[in-house]
Amino acid sequence: MFITRWFGVTSNDAERDLANEKCVIEEIVEKTLLMQKNAADQQHRSLCRGTHAKGVCARAEFEVLDVSSARDAVLGARLAKGIFAEPGVYPATVRFGNSDSKKNSDFKPDVRSLSFSVDLKRDCSTASDGNVHRQDFSLQNTKVLPINDSIAFLATMKLLTASNPVAGLWALSFRDKLRVLRTLALVQVQTHQKIKPYQLLRYGSNVPFRHGPIDVVKYSAAPMPDNPARTLQKSNPNGLQDELIRHLKEDGRMSVFEFGVQFLDADRMTYWGKQRDSGFWLENASADWKEAEAPVHTVARLTLLRNSQLPPDASEATYFDVTNNSTADSAPLGSINRARAPSEMASRKARVHTSTGPETSLAVACPLETGAEGCGKPRQLNAEVEKENDVLGEAAG
pLDDT of residue 40: 87
SS (HEC) of 174-242? HHHHHHHHHHHHHHHHHHCCCCCCHHHCCEECCCCEEECCCEEEEEEEEECCCCCCCCCCCCCCCHHHH
Distance CA 280, CA 294 (A): 15
For the segment 289-309, the average pLDDT, to the nearest whole number, is: 98
Work out whether the CA dihedral 388, 326, 202, 140 comes out positive or negative: positive
Q: Given this model, what pLDDT does residue 375 score?
A: 37
pLDDT digits (tens, 9 = 90+) for 305-322: 999 999 988 988 899 999
pLDDT confidence of residue 51: 81
Residue 125 has pLDDT above 70, yes or no: no
What's the CA gap between 307 and 318, in Å, rounded?
18
For residue 390, what pLDDT band results from cuts at 50, 70 and 90?
Answer: very low
What is the DSSP-derived secondary structure letter of residue 67?
T
Q: Is the pLDDT of residue 161 over 50?
A: yes
Length of the chain: 397
Rg over alpha carbons for the chain, rounded to the nearest Å, is 21
Residue 252 CB burial class (10 angstroms; 0-12, 13-18, ≥19): exposed
Strands 274-275 and 270-271: antiparallel
Q: How many CB atoms lie within 10 A of CB 13?
A: 11
Beta strands at 112-119 and 88-98: parallel, antiparallel or unpaired: antiparallel
Write the pLDDT tens digit of every residue in 203-262. Answer: 999 999 999 999 999 999 999 999 999 999 999 999 999 999 999 999 999 999 999 999
Instruction: Give the number of C-alpha atoms closer than 13 A to the C-alpha of residue 236, restricted to the C-beta side.
Output: 9
Per-residue pLDDT tens for 72-120? 999 999 999 999 999 999 999 999 999 998 899 999 999 999 999 999 9
d(CA 33, CA 161) in angstroms, rounded, equals: 10
pTM for this structure? 0.86
State how far Cα 280 lies from the chain centre.
Answer: 20
**Hey, is 143 helix, strand or coil?**
coil
Sign of the Cα torsion 21, 22, 25, 27 reads negative
Q: Which range (38-47, 126-135, 258-267) has the least confidence?
A: 126-135
CA terminus-to-terminus distance, the chain = 44
**Under DSSP, is residue 160 helix (H, G, I), strand (E, B) or coil?**
helix
Q: Give the Cβ contact number of residue 131 at 10 Å.
A: 6
CA 205 to chain centre: 7
Segment 21-73, tens digit of pLDDT: 999 999 999 999 999 998 889 988 888 887 888 999 999 999 999 999 989 99
